[in-house]
Amino acid sequence: CVMSGATFADTWTVDDDGKADFENIQAAVDAASDGDEIVVMPGTYTSMQDGHVVNMLGKAVTLRSSDPSDPDVVAATIIDGENTRRGLACFNQETSKTIISGFTITNGYGVVFEYDSGGEITGGGMYCRYSNPTLNHCTFKDNVSDAYGGGIYSFGAQLSLTNCKF
């Protein structure tokens, strides 16, 4: 019996109309494994969880819209914090292999995030702590925080931002 060390990446689709593997982005991230790709169809995606719409969970996955280089698709593929939670969270030592591409992140609100001892109100659009994700073709708009980082709050992180708008 010979065992192969080869692994296969999966491609997951997300569509808020229910015509895909998942209806929300977080469920797809939860199911994904390192190396997988999550393709999100145009629509508005939000969440009922506390703190953020999408937590990347330290996974080395690609999370992208259906066409990250098309400005119309980016404008129509929305992560919406509904003015009650941040859009994206990377605080689980994500690396540059965590790729987020082709989204409009809007209406994020920097909420209290507990860590070590105490909490801060930071990062409306995105909270990034000790993580190094790669962001391409993302637009951050109408995100706020009571303390730091309306668009992005980054602490101990080295984000790679390419063709992003604030």
0.85 surpassed by pTM:
yes
Per-residue pLDDT tens digits for 81-105:
999 999 999 999 999 999 999 999 9
C-alpha–C-alpha distance, residues 139 and 124, integer Å = 13
Per-residue pLDDT tens digits for 39-82:
999 999 999 888 899 999 999 999 999 999 999 999 999 999 99
